[in-house]
């Protein structure tokens, strides 16, 4: 695995992104996932696969997040996975909307509740890479839609 990022990163945010890139969290597959999603970007080869286990109240109680590709997709998938436990699917979707706004428009009130995803705003300096940061969230949103269609 390469040790240098493919996007120049510096400072605290860069360190956080590199830590998640080098040692991604929650990457063990779930056997009994309720929500499953995978997104692939054929232009760059990035892939994000997410699985969620829900408890009886509809809150996330298990997470699996795996990714292949650049440092940004790997870090974004890992960081996102750390924020999902104990959230309802609606809260996950709300987080996705806030994150999308952050990545497209910059920091504002919508950053509340994004935790370490804020570190990824450094990617805004490289507009073509914003899709890399958003891919795991897109996968998760699609997985939630499919789950809701299947259960309702």
Q: Which of 2-6, 30-34, 62-66, 128-132 shows the lowest per-residue confidence on average (mean pLDDT)? A: 2-6
pLDDT in tens, 78-127: 999 999 999 999 999 999 999 999 898 876 665 778 999 988 988 888 88
Range 22-47 average pLDDT: 95
Q: Are 92 and 36 contacting, i.e. CB atoms less than 8 angstroms apart?
A: no
Q: Which residue from 46, 1, 36, 9 is spatially nearest to 123, judged by alpha carbons?
A: 9
pLDDT of 95 reads: 94
**The model scores a pTM over 0.85:** yes
Distance CA 107, CA 109 (A): 7
Q: Residue 2 — very low, low, confident or very high, per pLDDT cuts 50/70/90?
A: very low
Q: Which residue has the tokens 């950053």?
A: 111
Distance CA 117, CA 151 (A): 30
Q: What is the phi-psi region of residue 58: left when phi exceeds 0, alpha when psi lies from -120 to 50, beta otherwise?
A: left
pLDDT of 107 reads: 67
The answer, yes or no, to whether residue 22 has pLDDT greater than 60, is: yes
What are the structural domain ranges in the chain? 11-151
Q: Which residue has the tokens 């990163």?
A: 9
The answer, yes or no, to whether residue 65 has pLDDT greater than 60, is: yes
Q: Which residue has the tokens 């300096």?
A: 125
Please enumerate in sequence order all residues whose Cβ is within 8 A of that of 100, keeping only pairs 6 or more positions apart, or say none: 134, 137
Q: Could you count the other beta carbons within 10 Å of the beta carbon of residue 19? A: 16
Q: Say how many residues make up the chain.
A: 152
Domain 11-151 of CATH type 3.40.50.1580: no
């Amino acid at each position: 695995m390469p040790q240098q990022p493919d996007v120049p990163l510096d400072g605290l945010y860069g360190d956080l992104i590199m830590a998640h890139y080098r040692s991604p969290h929650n990457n063990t597959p779930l056997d009994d996932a309720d929500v499953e999603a995978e997104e692939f970007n054929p232009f760059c080869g990035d892939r994000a696969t997410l699985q969620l286990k829900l408890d009886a109240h509809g809150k996330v109680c298990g997470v699996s997040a795996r990714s292949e590709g650049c440092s940004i997709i790997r870090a974004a998938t890992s960081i996102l996975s750390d924020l999902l436990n104990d959230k309802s699917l609606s809260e996950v979707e709300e987080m996705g909307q806030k994150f999308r706004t952050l990545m497209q428009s910059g920091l504002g009130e919508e950053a509340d509740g994004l935790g370490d995803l804020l570190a990824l705003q450094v990617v805004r300096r490289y507009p073509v890479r914003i899709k890399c940061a958003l891919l795991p969230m897109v996968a998760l949103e699609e997985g939630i839609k499919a789950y809701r269609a299947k259960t309702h």
